[in-house]
Amino acid sequence: MAAATITSKGQITIPAKVRMAMGVDTGDRVEFVEVGKGEFNILPATRSVREMNAMLHRKGSKPVSIEEMNAAIAKGASRSR
């Protein structure tokens, strides 16, 4: 069983073994979900940017340039006025 100590500021350090098992790293967020009176589950709340990269790529699509992005933003902004 892994354990942690609460600091005077109410902070804890999640043990390395637990972080690895949860798949969380520096900068990631966790959520505390109440499952019973005084009992909580700790769940990862974010995914790493590396994981999300593959979600954004569509096979066969070409990369978009900064200029193309700016043009699309300007076009959208002009419609909303």
- Tell me if 10 is assigned to some domain: no
| pLDDT of the residue at 20 | 92
- Tell me if 50 is assigned to some domain: yes
- Tell me if 54 is assigned to some domain: yes
| pLDDT of the residue at 49 | 57
Domain count, the chain: 1
- Distance (Å, rounded) from C-alpha 19 to C-alpha 14? 6
- Tell me if 47 is assigned to some domain: yes
- Tell me if 4 is assigned to some domain: no
| pLDDT of the residue at 54 | 59
| pLDDT of the residue at 80 | 60
Provide the greatest CA pair distance for the chain: 59
- Tell me if 24 is assigned to some domain: yes
Name the residue range of residue 53's domain. 16-79
Q: Which residues, in sequence order, are bridge partners of residue 40?
A: 34
- Tell me if 26 is assigned to some domain: yes
The H-or-E segment that residue 62 falls in is none
| pLDDT of the residue at 15 | 94
pLDDT under 70: residue ranges of the chain: 47-58, 80-81
